[in-house]
A and B are shown apart, each in its own frame.
Chain A
Amino acid sequence: MTSENDDMGLAMSSISMFNKSSNTSDSFFSSCWDPIVSQSGSLGGSSMASHYHLVMENQGISGTSHVSHYQSDPSFVELVSKLTGFDGGNLSQMVGPFSLPQCNQVANGNERGSTNSLRFLDEHRISKEALVGTSPNGKIRKCAPESGSPLRSCKNGDEEPVMDLSSEGCDGPREQARKKPETEQNTGANSRGKQAVKQDKDSSQSEEAPKENYIHVRARRGQATNSHSLAERVRREKISERMRLLQELVPGCNKITGKAVMLDEIINYVQSLQQQVEFLSMKLATVNPEINLDLDRILSKDILHQRSGSAAVLGLGPGSNSPYGFSPSTFPGTISGIPNKNPQFPPLPQTVLENELLNLFQMGFSGSTMDGFGLNGQLKPEM
């Protein structure tokens, strides 16, 4: 019943509504819907849902008088078509009592399903299915919510529990296809509550992801199922995932929690890197009129053979305290003329990263010992 469905962790309010009104078929209904509900969130193969719906209709199952009542409701077709997420195996569980093995093949793909559907569908059902179900690239699913507005009206004011989150309409299949794998993983990873079984189905469903090119999002337990909030949630998860990646890139940001501080660190880091390149090119400008072609080969070999851990080389980790004290002062906006051969670069603005960068520059440019470098010792000491 309703508590059961809530325990399933889905905002499937529509199912609860159906269950409320049926007493005798409650156990049957919930038990029938449970395998469906427990399956993953991807809505592939809507044709199978229609098949299921039709199966129930054709077989005339006892105790489903309530179901037949809902069958006539066109909104139920929409709902049922939206609720499916069947593997072939799970579908066999479900249609076992109905002995329709053809449904298993239907589960494998939209287009194949459409051909299989012709075996046991009436004419008018086919037309309806063409509306609700498959299209060559599955894009019609986004347009389904428009036809699902009567569905919404007959619910208790709740929105669609499962939403197809394609990006702003039926167009842009490429973007959807690109976003799809990420979001599939996200939604698979994000389902919580008593959905351990569901997560397995999620991962297995994500293998079918390449066949569809829209994004499935499932509302989490206790969260709003508004389409806007779902889109917001997906966007926020994408952003936090990227922030996590950036956190790994920027050194010394493991302990930082919070987007604002993290962004500040990122900004500082990018600024330091850009200034570093400027400094180094300035150094090159003062040093090297004598470069020649043989040197090119030597340079490329040496540069390419160094370890690529540039962060380690540049001493940006926390461990590189330098013996060179200096007093950082404000950095002049531009680099004015440099008088001597070993330039004393103006100190950088005061951040930890930049202090360490400057340490490294001073160590390198003044030609003193190379012990401070985090290299493998392959670098020859300067003359």
Chain B
Amino acid sequence: MDLQNLNPSSLKSRFTARFLRALTEINAPKTISSSSPREIFQRYRRIKVAADKSMAYSVRSRRIWSRATLWRLRTRSRSRRLVSFGRRASVKTRTTASHGKENKEHHGAVLGVQAEELRELVPGGEAMDLCNLLDETAHYIKCLTTQGFCVYMGGLLCEGCC
């Protein structure tokens, strides 16, 4: 067995701990009958947000994409309550997007179209040049696989237990 798996401060353990905590919070107030599609959908959304948030928190601010994810989640939660925050948030994303486009033109990337797509996929990728973008993508891929793995295993075990 890898020592990494038993490392208490590895990405997987950090993510799993946070995710499970969030999961219990989500499922705590539920009653028994909760099979309506809307409730399931709501729970799905909350679980997805919890997964993303736990992953971003496990990475802290060390990465651009994690900072962007956390910022996005925070502004979205705020914008639901206060409309003005949402307006400010959209302005900010516009400025970062335009800045990213300037960077792209300046560097004259040959792979402009795909780089643009990748920027849309990776959170916070709009304001990065190709070099950093590839870096962030590598770390993002690694974290996404960990996230999927843990959520999957959690789901399997829950299904096995209920």
Query: Does A130 sit at the interface, judged by CB under 8 A?
Result: no
Q: Which residues of A contact B95 (CB under 8 A)?
A: none
- CA gap between A281 and B148 in the complex, in Å: 9
- CA gap between A270 and B155 in the complex, in Å: 21
B152 touches A280 (CB 8 A): yes
Query: Does A287 sit at the interface, judged by CB under 8 A?
Result: yes
The residue that A281 contacts in the complex, of B12, B44, B159, with Cβ under 8 A, is B44
A284 touches B114 (CB 8 A): no
Query: Does B71 sit at the interface, judged by CB under 8 A?
Result: no
Query: Does B105 sit at the interface, judged by CB under 8 A?
Result: no
Chain A interface category by residue count: 35 or more
Q: Which residues of B contact A305 (CB under 8 A)?
A: 1, 5-6
The residue that A239 contacts in the complex, of B5, B121, B130, with Cβ under 8 A, is B130
Which residues of B are at the interface with A, using a C-beta cutoff of 8 A? 1-2, 4-6, 12-13, 16-17, 20-21, 23-24, 27, 30, 32, 34-35, 37-38, 40-41, 43-44, 46-48, 51-52, 107, 110-111, 114-115, 117-118, 121-122, 130-131, 134-135, 137-138, 140-142, 144-162
- CA gap between A383 and B161 in the complex, in Å: 8
- CA gap between A296 and B158 in the complex, in Å: 10
Q: Given the known A-B contacts A364-B156, A383-B160, are A306 and B20 also in contact in the complex, defined by CB atoms under 8 Å? A: no
Q: Given the known A-B contacts A274-B121, A281-B47, are A314 and B162 also in contact in the complex, defined by CB atoms under 8 Å? A: no
Name the residue of chain A whose CB is nearest to the CB of B154.
Answer: A299
Query: Does A140 sit at the interface, judged by CB under 8 A?
Result: no
- CA gap between A243 and B47 in the complex, in Å: 33
- CA gap between A284 and B160 in the complex, in Å: 12
Query: Does A197 sit at the interface, judged by CB under 8 A?
Result: no
Query: Does A246 sit at the interface, judged by CB under 8 A?
Result: yes
Q: What are the 4 tightest A-B residue pairs by CB atom distance, in nearest-first order?
A: A337-B37, A242-B134, A310-B149, A285-B44
- CA gap between A163 and B141 in the complex, in Å: 36
Beyond A313-B152, A338-B40, A380-B160, 9 additional pairs, beta carbon < 8 A: A239-B130, A246-B141, A273-B144, A273-B148, A280-B152, A285-B43, A307-B5, A310-B148, A339-B37
Within 8 A of B (CB), among A321-357: 335-339, 341
B150 touches A249 (CB 8 A): no
- CA gap between A72 and B51 in the complex, in Å: 70
A269 touches B148 (CB 8 A): no
The residue that A277 contacts in the complex, of B13, B51, B107, B114, with Cβ under 8 A, is B51
Name the residue of chain A whose CB is nearest to the CB of B49.
Answer: A281
